Amino acid sequence: MRRLFTILTFSLLGFLTKAQDPQFTQFYASPLYLAPSYAGGTPGQRLVANYRNQWSFVPGTFQSFSLSYDHNFEHFKSGLGLIVLGDIAGDGRLGTTLAGIVYSYDITPHPDFHIRPGIGFYYVQQSIDYTRLIFGDQLLYDEGVPMPPSSQPPGNRAVRDIDVSTSVLAYSDNLWLGATWDHMLRPERTFYGDDARTPFKLSVYGGARIVLRGIILRPIEESITTAFNLKFQGFSKQLDLGLYWYRQPFLFGTWYRGIPLGKKYPGSDAVAFLFGYKLDEWSIGYSYDFTVSRLGFGSGGSHEIAMTYTFKVKARKRYRAIPCPTF
């Protein structure tokens, strides 16, 4: 019986947690998911893949992955990108699928200062596998007795909707500040036909980079970067603070996530450690989240991998890329 309650607990945990969006510790390594404004943020073309395994020791672990591609249209001062994201959580395999197209436009009020608004359009699907769930009426039987089918009727196996997000990003050589408004259409997320919609999400992010060796608009050999990401969604509030040290070709970083912003949901989430390697057009980063919340060491922490490939181009002039962290 104890095992049944354990399964039910983590299945319910999946439902509660998925009231919020999937997240990546290396959020700058998933730029199009962070903000449409990052479309075309580098010269030429870029391909990015991300994978996250959250709380690896928990039954029905949370797994997220994304794949994105974007292209910079220099003559049109525009960027265009495509993104696909998937997320699976809990024993019921509560799933989120997102596919969309994003666009950004570069405004240059001053040669050393840029403003980049962006917009994204998405198809969103929520799905669940009821055959893997244990309902309350199935827990009335003692351990050892075969589980009867539940008398509680399942809802829809999937719900589909559309969504829109907007963003704006301001940046110079070594400073940047941006904001994103996600779920502007509040897409449907209920399986039983009641009124349950995805809450708005507002993200404010930025950072500063100090170049120790190298010249702006040329390959940077060594730098220190500090960055933050503040997120609001429903009752959830989260602040990520991080510091990177890059010395070609290696990067090391540390993050602290979940600084309390209110009394209703106090506590910390994790301390993350990042290691990265950059070789020509390739960049690869690995991060581990060390859980410091009440979930404790039994969660197994979280593992995340990000890979980026930037296609070489022969630009007619030097392009001022957005100065976010290298990874």
Residue 11: per-residue pLDDT: 44
Residue 66, burial from CB neighbour count under 10 angstroms (0-12, 13-18, 19+): buried
pLDDT for 17 equals 43
Q: DSSP letters along 58-96, please?
A: SSS-EEEEEEEEEEEEGGGTEEEEEEEEEEEETTTTEEE
Q: Is 310 left (phi over 0), alpha (psi -120 to 50) or beta?
A: beta
Q: Which fold has domain 2-147+154-310?
A: Porin (2.40.160)
Omega before 149 cis (within 30°)? no
- Report d(CA 29, CA 33) in Å as an integer: 9
Whole-number Å distance between alpha carbons of 48 and 68? 5
- Is residue 17 within 8 Å of 318, Cβ to Cβ? no
Domain boundaries, the chain: 2-147+154-310
- Report pTM: 0.85
Q: Residues 25, 32: contact at Cβ < 8 Å?
A: no
pLDDT of residue 161: 94
Residues in the chain, how many?
A: 327
Would you give per-residue pLDDT tens digits along the chain (327 residues)?
A: 434 443 444 444 444 444 578 889 898 999 999 999 999 988 889 999 999 998 777 776 789 999 999 999 989 999 999 999 999 887 778 889 999 999 999 999 988 899 999 999 999 998 888 877 777 777 766 566 666 777 677 778 889 999 999 999 999 988 999 999 999 999 988 888 777 889 999 999 999 999 888 765 566 789 999 999 999 988 888 899 999 999 989 999 999 987 655 555 555 678 999 999 998 889 999 999 988 876 666 677 889 999 999 987 765 555 667 766 655
